[in-house]
Structure 1
Amino acid sequence: MNLLRAAATVSSFTLLSRITGLARDIIIARTFGAGALTDAFWVAFRIPNLLRRLFAEGAFAQAFVPILGQVRTEHSEQPEAIQVLLDRVAVTLFVALFVITLIGVIGAPWVVMAMASGLTSPARAAEFDAAVWMTRLMFPYIICMSLVAFASGVLNTWRKFAIPAFTPVLLNLSVIGSSFLLAGRLEQPIYALAIGVMVGGIAQFTMQWWALSHMKLRPRLLTPIGPALKDPTVRRIMRQMLPATLGVSVAQISLLINTNIATWLTPGSVTWLSFADRLMEFPTALIGVALGTVLLPSLSKANADPDKTQYSQLLDWGLRLVLVLGLPAALCMILMADAMVATLFHYGAFTGADVMQTRTAVMAYSAGLIGLLAVKILAPGFYGKQDIRTPVKIAVAVLLCTQLFNLALVPWLAHAGLALAIGLGACLNALALYVGLRRQGIYQPGAGWTLFIAKQCFALLCMAVPLWLASQHIDWLALQGTPFLRIALLAAVLGVSVFVYLLGLALVGIRPRHFRRAPR
């Protein structure tokens, strides 16, 4: 199987998603700046987004995809058995999330207090009320996205990667459209963003449900809940979801703590972190998420093979590709952070001071980029064997370490300390997962790693030269009045740097063909 081609498909649509997401954030920055009400929107959006990752995409995919792949293999001649499982899993997920959404809408003030206690002071009452209103409006978003996660799991299991990777574009387009069409018509313009989020969630659900219908795999949500809860396979998925939810919740709890701390810092801190996180999503999604998405079904299939060498070779392939693509991305983020932030966001209400504050957060996040990417490869090494408990134990320990990093770094670096703590925590997570896979004999590094890393270092040194020269000789803030020149300069610098990096790889003998196909 050509895993590189599958990963490239996911990356291509994910790139489109991230570009439209970046356009969305540019419009938000230009229109609303980095102020108190913008912070209120990001707080409100983070709550359903957090629950979506907690109950849907992360935990659900980790528990559902390996079991669905196994059921599909065992019942390949019985499509009705697969359909019954899809019906029962979907209705169970829907009912559970409906109850959670109802509780969230009613208890929105208390949820916001827990998420952003810095907004509870009397001086920030308007921001608190805005966050509560937007939280209530966007809470049903998790129902849509949970069903989208379900559909994505089915489509990815059937090797249909394109539509799940494309649908996030609809969310970004909806928010952009709402910003233009509704912001000027509402008493509180920031509410247009929340409306756009809900419209985008419904659009994503509609497209993925249509894709399942086209494949004759659409579940029937009117299935009785009683038999679904008694189904042994559904129960097995739920049992797997419990540790998976705990594992995902560790990362989300860390994010919750960081958001809460940021609301106590200078107004705008939540927004600076959100925009820095948007830049980091490009490499993490294009590389880490894409590789993780195509690896998990392949690992689940390889786990059923009596010959276990392919399982280790798949992980080795993923880690090498992470370094080849992730290290130059980290280098660009560190040396060109001010250039990227200024070129993308330095317009309208987003000031030069906001650029500098966002820049420090980008550089801090970059320190942990390889860790963030490696986790996307190493964690599926456990999930493919239906071992979710080990990554959970590691994640709990990493959470504790991350908070210790916060204690040390936030007083010194403010909001950038929060970003650096997340990056260092990701590196610890990746290291612990790597050690765990080695100790259990799941992963054995292939031959030639030392030489491979040495070749990488040569290519990275070549790439650093044009990046460093550009960072020293171009004043990116001064180019605000000539945005097209600034965009052209950034594109030229990045283009030359990538060319030099690829040339360096070619000189030391690393070729694309070395990563094109999965190990056999």
Structure 2
Amino acid sequence: MSLVRNVGTIGGLTAVSRVFGFIRDMLVARVLGAGLAADAWQLAFTLPNTFRRLFAEGAFSVAFVPMYTRRLHGTEDGASGEEAADRFAGDVLSVFVWVLLGFSALAMLAMPGIVWLLAREYQAVPGKFELAVTLSRVTFPYLLLVSLVAMLSGLLNARSRFAPGAFVPVLLNLVLIAGVVTGYFWRQRTGSDVSVAWALACALAAAGVAQLAYMAWATRRAGVRLRVTRPRFTPDVRRLGMLILPATFGAGIYQISQLVDTFFATSLPQGSLTLLKLADRLNQMPLGIFGIALGTAILPMLARHIQGGDMREAQRLQANAVEVATLLTLPAAAALAICAPAFVTAFFVGGKMTLASGAIMADIVVALVCGLPAYVLVKVFQPAFFSREDTRTPVWSAAATLAVNIALNFYVVPRYGIVGLAAATAFTATLNVAVLYAVLQLRGWFRFTARLGSRIARQLLATGVMSAVLWLLMPLLAPYFGGTVVERVLSLAVLVGAGVVVFFGVAYAAGAIDRDLLGQLRRRRPAKPVDLAE
């Protein structure tokens, strides 16, 4: 299966999840606004999800998938690839379960200290700190459940079965939507926003159970038979552990930055954390659809090419991934930056979310999306290291950029508030990509060719024309962004439709879209490889 088709499968299902996630956040914004309960819920939601992305979907997946793939497509001690891979996965699972249980238990016991480290300013508001601690204890078991989900998802990805792992976030968002609706009706009886936050916290734990049950079924349906036995630290399990430790930092710069941003956001006026997280939802729409899809699809494919010694095919795959990443993220970033007030007003303003809060949120979106291409390119460049089992280089890059991020935050947050915080995150993400690319170039693992550069230049041309059209349309449609539901929908439809038509029309005419690469989406079999290494 081609990279483009894999990205299409993952991206399509992820898009469905993002739509439901967007609906979830729209409801949360309108039901809770940006107050005490909303901030407490955002912190309780951030903690398990950050650790999940950092350890399970980040470090664990990038270390586990290449090792599992090597066993699946080879032989070991006379055993078939299937047998060796299942034995390896069973050994890892038997250790992984106990590690997760121990970590989750310790974190729940230490939750007052964790919340104090991240949000000590919550103590200045009566009841806010205590609510954040309690909700975080309710939500943290989700880490255990969803980490197991991530392992099973990586296992299926190595077998080119991407759909189940891309579908499980849909279950999360459906359960959370049910939670916020339940909380809304519960609040009518209690009269307190805390009821909504409690309903959301309980729904998150329930969602983890639903996701794990589904992935266990999908894994068995794929013919994989895993057994949890007595934990054994085999040489392979120990090697995986050694790879995970540095990969935890290298793969998780974005997640670590999220914790840093949470720390600084909680020191700002009440509601700042909520506005940052809701603004990041708009940023996460293209990031989740394009970035995660590309990173998930490229890692097992790149690992197979590199382990087979086919460096030319590895170069072609990475070049295709960069081209697809820029084709999708450059116009998305420009459109979000120009149309941020329209999207925020139409989607989030209403109920308990005020126009003033919406204006701040729009400024945050503009700052965040400046780093959108970098967020996605990180997902493309890091697999080039991980597929070679080099987890040290991303660690040093991540350490340097994180240090810059923290230093910038101490300077910009007191002066520019939450918007400065978002801008610092975007800048350091771009710096991280620049460092990773420089190392890849120096080692000869990836070359930025003239052909690829020409394609991106044409994409920038199309993005510029689209931006000009959107800039002209914004003041004409502004009165309708906060109008009736029909007016909001129609005005956004005009913006999105105009942007899509103009960008892809100009891009196609200017040759910014590789027709052969695009044609792979319409074929059962991949087209002849497009050699961007020339």
Same fold (TM over 0.5): yes
Query: Helix, strand or coil: the match of 2:309?
Result: coil
Give the structure 1 partner of residue 494 of structure 2.
Answer: 492
Deviation at 1:513, TM superposition (A): 2.7
Give the structure 2 partner of residue 206 of structure 1.
Answer: 213
Distance 1:421 1:319 in 2: 24
1:465 maps to which of 448, 468, 481: 468
Contact persistence 2:481–2:492 (CA under 8 A): no
Give the structure 1 partner of residue 67 of structure 2.
Answer: 67
Distance 1:263 1:46 in 2: 12
Aligned alpha-carbon RMSD (Å): 1.6
Contact persistence 2:455–2:511 (CA under 8 A): no
Give the structure 1 partner of residue 131 of structure 2.
Answer: 130
Give the structure 2 partner of residue 359 of structure 1.
Answer: 362
Give the structure 1 partner of residue 507 of structure 2.
Answer: 505
Deviation at 1:19, TM superposition (A): 0.3
Query: 1:403-426 deviations in whole A, cap 9, x for unaligned?
Result: 122123222321111111111011
Contact persistence 2:71–2:81 (CA under 8 A): no
Give the structure 2 partner of residue 169 of structure 1.
Answer: 170
Deviation at 1:488, TM superposition (A): 1.2
The worse-fitting range, judged by mean Cα deviation, of 283-292 and 479-488 is 479-488
The residue identity in structure 2 corresponding to 1:380 is: P
Aligned ranges 1:369-408 → 2 under 5 Å: 369-408=372-411
Query: Helix, strand or coil: the match of 2:84?
Result: helix
Quickly say closer, same or farther: Cα 1:412–1:482, change in 2 above 3 A: same
Alignment of 1:44 with 2:47, yes or no, is no
Distance 1:172 1:338 in 2: 25
Contact persistence 1:323–1:370 (CA under 8 A): yes
1:445 maps to which of 448, 457, 477: 448
Q: How many residues align?
A: 513
Quickly say closer, same or farther: Cα 1:488–1:308, change in 2 above 3 A: same
Distance 1:255 1:307 in 2: 37
Give the structure 2 partner of residue 514 of structure 1.
Answer: 516
The worse-fitting range, judged by mean Cα deviation, of 388-397 and 311-320 is 311-320
The residue identity in structure 2 corresponding to 1:210 is: W
The residue identity in structure 1 corresponding to 2:216 is: W
Give the structure 2 partner of residue 194 of structure 1.
Answer: 201
Give the structure 2 partner of residue 155 of structure 1.
Answer: 156
Contact persistence 2:381–2:436 (CA under 8 A): yes
Deviation at 1:250, TM superposition (A): 4.4
The residue identity in structure 1 corresponding to 2:507 is: L
Aligned ranges 1:94-493 → 2 under 5 Å: 94-121=97-124, 124-185=125-186, 187=190, 188-189=194-195, 190-221=197-228, 223-225=229-231, 228-229=232-233, 231-248=234-251, 250-475=253-478, 479-493=481-495
Distance 1:196 1:208 in 2: 18
The residue identity in structure 2 corresponding to 1:181 is: T
Distance 1:284 1:78 in 2: 34
Query: 1:223-244 deviations in whole A, cap 9, x for unaligned?
Result: 001xx21x11111111110111
Quickly say closer, same or farther: Cα 1:88–1:407, change in 2 above 3 A: same
Deviation at 1:324, TM superposition (A): 1.1
The residue identity in structure 2 corresponding to 1:46 is: T
Query: Helix, strand or coil: the match of 1:95?
Result: helix
Quickly say closer, same or farther: Cα 1:456–1:511, change in 2 above 3 A: closer
Contact persistence 1:183–1:191 (CA under 8 A): no
Contact persistence 2:57–2:150 (CA under 8 A): yes
Deviation at 1:349, TM superposition (A): 0.8
Contact persistence 2:58–2:252 (CA under 8 A): no
Query: Helix, strand or coil: the match of 1:443?
Result: coil
Query: Helix, strand or coil: the match of 2:478?
Result: coil
Consecutive aligned runs of 4 or more in structure 1 exceeding 4 Å deviation: 517-520
Give the structure 1 partner of residue 10 of structure 2.
Answer: 10
The residue identity in structure 1 corresponding to 2:510 is: V
Stretches of structure 2 that go unaligned for 5 or more consecutive residues are: 521-525
Distance 1:416 1:77 in 2: 55
Distance 1:328 1:261 in 2: 30
Quickly say closer, same or farther: Cα 1:373–1:251, change in 2 above 3 A: closer
Distance 1:92 1:114 in 2: 29
Contact persistence 1:163–1:208 (CA under 8 A): yes
Distance 1:420 1:32 in 2: 26
The residue identity in structure 1 corresponding to 2:516 is: H
Quickly say closer, same or farther: Cα 1:178–1:440, change in 2 above 3 A: same
Distance 2:408 2:485 in 1: 38
Contact persistence 2:405–2:425 (CA under 8 A): yes
Distance 1:176 1:166 in 2: 16
Quickly say closer, same or farther: Cα 1:456–1:263, change in 2 above 3 A: same
Query: Helix, strand or coil: the match of 2:268?
Result: coil
Give the structure 2 partner of residue 79 of structure 1.
Answer: 82
Distance 1:282 1:378 in 2: 20
Stretches of structure 1 that go unaligned for 5 or more consecutive residues are: none
Distance 1:17 1:80 in 2: 34
Normalized against structure 2, the TM-score is what? 0.93
The alignment-based identity, stated in percent, is: 34
Distance 1:519 1:310 in 2: 10
The residue identity in structure 2 corresponding to 1:11 is: G
Contact persistence 2:368–2:426 (CA under 8 A): yes
Distance 2:281 2:26 in 1: 10
The residue identity in structure 1 corresponding to 2:55 is: F
Query: 1:470-497 deviations in whole A, cap 9, x for unaligned?
Result: 2232325x64341221111111111111
Quickly say closer, same or farther: Cα 1:263–1:443, change in 2 above 3 A: same
Query: 1:189-220 deviations in whole A, cap 9, x for unaligned?
Result: 12111011111111111101111111231422
Alignment of 1:28 with 2:35, yes or no, is no
Query: Helix, strand or coil: the match of 1:74?
Result: coil
Distance 1:236 1:259 in 2: 33
Distance 1:155 1:71 in 2: 14
Distance 2:146 2:264 in 1: 27
The residue identity in structure 1 corresponding to 2:182 is: L
Quickly say closer, same or farther: Cα 1:100–1:454, change in 2 above 3 A: closer
Query: Helix, strand or coil: the match of 2:446?
Result: coil
